[in-house]
């Protein structure tokens, strides 16, 4: 697959294809022409005796110094070398590839003033499967994701290190040569254009939203299994009740759960006149309200991401009428805010999931199930400690929900005196999404065991299909077994989408 990068925005599917599916990249002719046109403006300014920021001056707090023409190649090289100052663990390959694509997308607009060869070098690096080594720390999310993007630019210059498609670590110069690629010698303005972007945080936002689309459907599946296994009612999910509070996400979640629980013999078994239960606990009854609010927050975040994908993030920029103007569009606040919003959402969806799991394990609340779903209570502990694992993750997710975007730290001799910390918001959201995946998987694993212990009553066709997939890797109720591999197996199913696909095989696509 090849993703064409033109003067318009790339889409979510393009980002995912390049980041996760190893798609190649091609620069469109329209984009190449736009790049050539704006470069003419930059070269004219480079020959002008009047200083222009980023073209013939230093950077940041050093912008007052006019740089003579003979020193400007060194100026650009020094900018990239000095800004490639990241530290800590290596950032994931998919994040770096997304970041490279998004920087190329901005270059392709023709509003940054780079040369065609420099933009093409990014496309070539992506298509060759060479991924620059980028480190965890170094971005404050203002003036762009400076250090992460500088590490990428360093590799384009033939310096630093890359990992090959197979993960082998190589000096950039050697890897470029092996693929028939030449290092780029940066000209005026190009160093800034390669690092002044929100591409790192934006790429991680796009990937997180892609994952959350799947995880919120899984949350509906898990909640349905818990409602059923704990002898709850599906009446509270009726469409007319949702219409009384018309949040769109809530209606979607409730409709999903209604379909998932349709034709459940377990639910039908206790919908009788002599049933004394009046209301289910909040973690069961309010599942659509929580998962629905999560969807609505994700929808807002997606709108921000789509606007950012359509943006030109650089400073200075070449305007449509040929002016070169400084601006503040590199500030990461819009992206940082929604990354933090999503971390709150993830923590709460995980929190309600853990509460539903806990209800299965308490004999005082599980309506007839063995304590801790143990096969032989006292001898066996069942899923007691699986809930501890959930609780530990949920506690961590609550800490990760604390916003990074309010924690500005001034830098660059107070020239950059308010920063977004959006990269930090993105990094903690990635960890939070991984945690939510595990929490939901443990709820499914526990609910499957609880539903099996309701036999001879059988679950709905949809939830029964999910149990069937789980049972392909994990045995049913019995004496205690080594539980960690079983959790890992269901986490893998959650991550691959197998659990949701099993349910959708019965009820059709979930929303």
Asked if residue 282 and residue 381 are part of one domain, the reply reads yes
Compute the distance between CA of residue 507 and CA of residue 13 in angstroms, rounded to an integer. Answer: 25
**What is the pTM (predicted TM-score) of this model?**
0.95
State the CATH number of the domain containing residue 321: 1.20.200.10
Structural tokens at position 45: 């300014």
Structural tokens at position 235: 């009446």
Burial level of 507, CB count in 10 A (0-12/13-18/19+)?
Answer: middle
How many structural domains does the chain have? 2
If DSSP codes are grouped into helix, strand and coil, which group holds residue 377?
strand
Decide the pairing of beta strands 317-318 and 169-171: unpaired
pLDDT for the residue 75: 86
pLDDT tens for each residue of 431-471: 999 999 999 999 999 999 999 999 999 999 999 999 999 99
pLDDT for the residue 246: 97
Instruction: Find out whether 406 and 377 touch, Cβ atoms under 8 Å.
Output: no
Instruction: Find out whether 317 and 112 touch, Cβ atoms under 8 Å.
Output: yes
Among 197, 225, 253, where does a domain finish? 197
Asked if residue 299 and residue 168 are part of one domain, the reply reads no
Smallest Cα–Cα separation from 294: which of 260, 261, 341? Answer: 341
Asked if residue 235 and residue 185 are part of one domain, the reply reads no
Asked if residue 502 and residue 440 are part of one domain, the reply reads yes
Instruction: Find out whether 402 and 395 touch, Cβ atoms under 8 Å.
Output: no
Decide the pairing of beta strands 24-27 and 2-5: parallel
Query: Is 59 a residue whose pLDDT tops 70?
Result: no
Asked if residue 193 and residue 220 are part of one domain, the reply reads no
pLDDT for the residue 253: 98
Question: What range defines the domain where residue 462 resides?
Answer: 204-507
pLDDT for the residue 481: 96
Among 197, 220, 250, where does a domain finish? 197
Instruction: Find out whether 227 and 366 touch, Cβ atoms under 8 Å.
Output: no
pLDDT for the residue 251: 98
Among 178, 197, 216, where does a domain finish? 197
Asked if residue 420 and residue 466 are part of one domain, the reply reads yes
Asked if residue 240 and residue 180 are part of one domain, the reply reads no
* Catalytic site positions: 53
pLDDT for the residue 276: 59
State the CATH number of the domain containing residue 78: 1.10.275.10
Structural tokens at position 68: 């003579």
Query: Is 338 a residue whose pLDDT tops 90?
Result: yes
Asked if residue 209 and residue 291 are part of one domain, the reply reads yes
pLDDT tens for each residue of 179-215: 999 999 999 889 999 999 999 999 999 999 999 999 9
Q: Label residue 311 by pLDDT band (50, 70, 90).
A: very high
């Amino acid at each position: 697959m090849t993703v064409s990068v033109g003067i318009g925005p790339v889409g979510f599917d393009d980002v995912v294809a390049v980041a996760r599916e190893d798609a190649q990249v091609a620069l469109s002719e329209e984009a190449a022409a736009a790049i050539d046109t704006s470069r003419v403006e930059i070269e004219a300014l480079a020959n002008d005796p009047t200083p222009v920021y980023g073209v013939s001056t230093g950077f940041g707090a050093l912008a007052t110094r006019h740089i003579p023409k003979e020193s400007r190649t060194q100026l650009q090289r020094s900018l990239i070398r000095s800004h490639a100052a990241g530290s800590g663990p290596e950032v994931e390959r998919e994040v770096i590839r997304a970041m490279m694509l998004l920087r190329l997308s901005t270059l392709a607009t023709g509003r940054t003033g780079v040369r065609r060869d420099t933009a093409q070098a990014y496309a070539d690096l992506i298509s060759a499967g060479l991924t620059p080594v980028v480190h965890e720390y170094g971005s404050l999310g203002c003036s762009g994701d400076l250090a992460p993007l500088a590490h990428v630019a360093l590799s384009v210059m033939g310096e630093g290190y890359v990992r090959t498609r197979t993960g082998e670590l190589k000096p950039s110069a050697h890897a470029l040569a092996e693929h028939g690629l030449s290092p780029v010698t940066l000209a005026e303005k190009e160093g800034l254009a390669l690092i002044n972007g929100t591409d790192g945080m934006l790429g991680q936002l796009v990937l997180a939203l892609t994952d959350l689309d799947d995880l919120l459907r899984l949350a509906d599946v898990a909640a349905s299994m818990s409602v059923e296994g704990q002898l709850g009612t599906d009446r509270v999910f009726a469409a007319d009740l949702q219409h009384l509070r018309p949040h769109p996400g809530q209606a979607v979640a409730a409709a999903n759960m209604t379909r998932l629980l349709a034709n459940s013999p377990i639910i039908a078994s206790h919908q009788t006149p002599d049933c004394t239960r009046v209301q289910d606990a909040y973690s069961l009854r309010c599942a659509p309200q929580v998962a629905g609010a999560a969807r609505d927050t994700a929808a807002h975040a997606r709108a921000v991401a789509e606007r950012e994908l359509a943006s030109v993030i650089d400073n200075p920029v070449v305007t449509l009428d040929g002016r070169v103007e400084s601006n503040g569009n590199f500030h990461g606040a819009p992206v940082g805010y929604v990354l933090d919003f999503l971390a709150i959402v993830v923590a709460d969806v995980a929190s309600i999931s853990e509460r539903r799991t806990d209800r299965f394990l308490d004999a005082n609340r599980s309506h007839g199930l063995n304590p801790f779903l143990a096969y032989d209570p006292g001898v066996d502990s069942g899923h007691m400690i699986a809930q501890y694992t959930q609780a530990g993750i949920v506690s961590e997710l609550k800490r990760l929900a604390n916003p990074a975007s309010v924690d500005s730290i001034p830098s660059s001799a107070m020239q950059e005196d308010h920063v977004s910390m959006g990269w930090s918001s993105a990094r903690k959201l990635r960890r939070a999404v991984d945690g939510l995946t595990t929490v939901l998987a443990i709820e499914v694993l526990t609910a499957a065991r609880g539903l099996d212990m309701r036999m001879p009553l059988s679950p709905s066709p949809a939830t029964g299909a999910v149990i069937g997939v789980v049972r392909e890797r994990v045995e049913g109720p019995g004496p205690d077994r080594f539980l960690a591999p079983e959790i890992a197996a269901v986490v893998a199913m959650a991550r691959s989408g197998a659990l949701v696909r099993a349910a959708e095989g019965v009820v059709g696509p979930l929303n």
